[in-house]
């Protein structure tokens, strides 16, 4: 059994020290994925793991998305997350769910940090189960009838120049989705990828999306914050959390590697 403690009562768990992820058996790995589905975020500290070992571990989690533009020596299963004194922006700024424009958007993401600034560089997470649950009953019922178009403007392949917008898919997903492992309802729109709600006029769509985005951004009681150390690995379940990478450490350096695991077509509320 994976012993852990809660980061907040509603969101996030940190695994006990001494555990090495690459030594987990299949039963523990299943438990890790279930813990991520239930708690949204799972943190493991002091991990010793090479790039090749992280890529191999990603395959144990499922089907990794790939990055064909990696430099030599970085496996295609890993996405480089880097900012330094030359960066004007950092990957992950703004609330989002990873590449939700995919027809089968990611389930788990796994980020291992190799270098961190002296201070800053935290990642904020927001609980989309709680975001939905804390809407009024009338708005819960209404949003569960809607779908939204997700476009690849925030896709890592587009931002890196490896693909054009025309080469990447757009998808229509339910505004409220059912997590297949927990059966719980989660709000599933994010400012990084969603262009509009399909059943509403442009004006109505813009107004409702802004309301939902503000609800996520300003509800501090549904959020947690993770501070990084070299060797920290964080898993998050994109089906039920959004995240925001704070770029408050310029001009210091931050370097990590992310594996992103394909999920399933989002399940709508019946």
Q: Name which CATH class applies to 4-268.
A: alpha beta
DSSP character string of 190-220: -TTTEEEETTS-HHHHHHHHHHHHHHHHH-G
Strand, coil or helix: what is 26? helix
Q: Give the active site residue among 112, 239, 243, 254.
A: 243
Environment class of residue 19 by beta-carbon count within 10 Å: exposed (0-12), middle (13-18) or buried (19+)?
middle
243 is catalytic: yes
This prediction's pTM: 0.94
| Residue range 187-216, pLDDT digits in tens | 999 999 999 999 999 999 999 999 999 999
Q: Give the active site residue among 39, 112, 254, 258.
A: 258
Q: How far is CA 216 from CA 124, 139, 176, 181, 248, in A?
A: 11, 15, 14, 23, 21
User: Among 159, 78, 92, which residue's Cα sits nearest to residue 125?
Assistant: 92
Of all residues in the chain, what percent carry a pLDDT higher than 90? 86
At 43 the pLDDT is 98
Q: Give the active site residue among 98, 150, 173, 177.
A: 98
Q: Give the active site residue among 39, 96, 173, 196.
A: 96
Beta strands 254-262 and 106-115, pairing class: antiparallel
Torsion of CA 76, 78, 79, 82, to 10 degrees: -120
User: Among 36, 4, 94, 8, which residue's Cα sits nearest to residue 237?
Assistant: 36
258 is catalytic: yes
pLDDT over 90 (residue 88): no
150 is catalytic: no
Residue partners of 264: CB distance under 8 A and separation at least 6: 104, 107, 180
Residue partners of 116: CB distance under 8 A and separation at least 6: 228, 229, 230, 232, 254
User: Among 240, 112, 118, which residue's Cα sits nearest to residue 181?
Assistant: 240
| Residue range 115-160, pLDDT digits in tens | 999 999 999 999 999 999 999 999 999 999 999 999 998 787 777 7
Structural domain boundaries of the chain? 4-268
CA 103 remoteness from chain centre: 16
CA atoms in the 13 A half-sphere facing the CB of 270: 1
pLDDT over 80 (residue 161): no
């Amino acid at each position: 059994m994976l012993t852990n403690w809660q980061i907040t009562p509603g969101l996030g768990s940190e695994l006990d020290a001494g555990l090495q992820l690459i030594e987990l058996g299949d039963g523990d790995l299943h438990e890790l994925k279930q813990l991520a589905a239930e708690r949204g975020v799972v943190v493991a500290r002091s991990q010793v793991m090479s790039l090749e070992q992280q890529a191999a571990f990603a395959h144990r989690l499922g089907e990794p998305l790939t990055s064909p533009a990696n430099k030599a020596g970085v496996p295609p299963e890993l996405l480089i997350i880097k900012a330094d004194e030359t960066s004007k922006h950092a990957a992950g700024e703004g609330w989002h769910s990873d590449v939700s424009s995919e027809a089968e958007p990611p389930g788990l993401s796994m980020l291992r940090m190799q270098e961190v600034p002296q201070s800053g560089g935290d990642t904020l997470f927001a609980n989309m189960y709680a975001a939905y649950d804390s809407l009024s009953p009338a708005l819960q019922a209404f949003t569960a009838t809607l779908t939204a178009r997700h476009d690849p403007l925030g896709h890592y392949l587009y931002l890196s120049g490896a693909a054009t917008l025309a080469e990447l898919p757009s998808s229509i997903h339910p505004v409220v989705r059912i997590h297949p492992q927990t059966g719980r309802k989660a709000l599933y729109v994010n400012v990084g990828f969603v262009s509009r709600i399909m059943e509403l006029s442009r004006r109505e769509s813009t107004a409702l999306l802004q309301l939902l985005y503000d609800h996520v951004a300003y509800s501090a009681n549904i959020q947690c914050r993770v501070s990084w150390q070299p060797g920290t690995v964080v898993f998050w379940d994109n089906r039920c959390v959004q995240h925001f990478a704070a770029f408050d450490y310029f001009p210091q350096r931050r370097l990590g590697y992310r594996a992103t695991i394909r999920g399933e077509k989002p399940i709508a509320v019946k």
